[in-house]
Amino acid sequence: MLNTRSPIPLYHQLADILLGKIRNGEFPSGARIPSEHQLSRDYAIGRPTARQATDLLVRKGILVRKRGSGTFVGPVRQEVDLFTLAGTTSAFEKKSISVETGVVSPTGLTTVADNPENPFCGKPAYFFSRLSRVEGIPVLLEDLYLDPLHFKGIDRVDLSVCSLSQVVRDRYYLTPTGGKQNFRIGYPDGKRARLLALSENTPILIVNRFIHFSDIENAVYSDLYCRTDRFIFSQTLGGIHHEA
């Protein structure tokens, strides 16, 4: 039940209860949830509070209102733990999600333009870009930068047919020892918007990822542009997956 003494607003408590019932299968995808009138009776709250709770879940894309029919559980978005040190394909495969990843910009040596977030700013780095699709729909765009000394010759490797994590492990005998990630909400520019099949005013999740190895920090840096309308991108805490 709801805790009237909690600092958490009642509508937020109710939203959490409904979300829990959705996740445990009590309200499966497509199911109609109780009406606001029924929720107000069941939880001894006013209808405006019940309305706030369902509004919150509608805004998050978890519930869908159908005029004249009620409020229903929307399509369940699968959760992908993309922000460990595991590679993109590995993260999707762990959820049994078939993903197609293609190279957008082939690997080449470049001097990184003025970007203070990028550890290679003003210095040379190998750069390539790849796009991941699920069921033909783009969900993730990655711009990757690699240290030119530790990954010498990687521009001669066809990364369209093999995973970067395998190349790092099998060709360069390197294993990640740690990393850091920064998160923010942003908007894709013209080219990235086209690749992700979004408008430029659609918000997306942007992640700056730094990966360290035993003898060098930030040997791999990437900018990840993530569509969140199809998947929930999560992060596992408390451990490191030893892949790149």
Which residues make beta-bridge pairs with 125? 110
pLDDT average, residue stretch 182-191:
92
* Local confidence band at 78 (pLDDT 50, 70, 90 cut-offs): low
Q: Are residues 24 and 142 in the same domain?
A: no
In a domain, 144, yes or no: yes
Is residue 5 one of the residues assigned to a domain?
no
| 111/193 same-domain check | yes
Residue of 63 and 178 predicted with greater confidence: 63
Domain-embedded: residue 139? yes
Q: Which two tokens stand for residue 206?
A: 């942007």
Which residue segment(s) compose the domain that 18 sits in?
10-73
In a domain, residue 3? The reply is no
Distances (CA, A) of 220 to 97, 102, 160, 179, 212: 25, 19, 18, 9, 7
Q: In 3D, which of 98, 92, 61 has the Cα closest to residue 79?
A: 92
Longest CA pairwise span in the chain (Å): 68
pLDDT class for 66, splitting at 50, 70, 90? very high
Please report the pLDDT score of residue 83 as a whole number. Answer: 41
pTM for the full model?
0.62
Query: What's the Cα-to-Cα distance from 230 to each of 187, 204, 216, rounded to whole Å?
Result: 17, 12, 35
4-13, 30-39, 73-82, 215-224: segment of lowest average pLDDT? 73-82
pLDDT of residue 101: 85
pLDDT of residue 241: 39
Question: 99 versus 107: which is more confidently predicted?
Answer: 107
Tell me the C-alpha distance between 141 and 138, whole Å.
8
Write out pLDDT tens, residues 11-52.
989 998 998 888 788 999 899 999 999 999 999 999 999 999
How much of the chain, in percent, has pLDDT values that exceed 70?
85
Q: Is the pLDDT of residue 171 over 90?
A: no
Of 73, 100, 116, which one is at a domain's C-terminal end?
Answer: 73
Q: What is the pLDDT of residue 122?
A: 93
Taking residues 74-85, report their average pLDDT: 54
Both tokens of 219, joined, read 């040997």
Please provide residue 203's backbone torsions phi and psi, each rounded to the nearest 5 degrees. Answer: -70, 140
How many distinct structural domains can be found in the chain?
2
141, 184, 167: which is closest to 220 by C-alpha? 167
> Where is the domain boundary, 43, 73, 103?
73
Residue bearing tokens 């003898």? 215
Whether residue 82 is found in the same domain as residue 143? yes
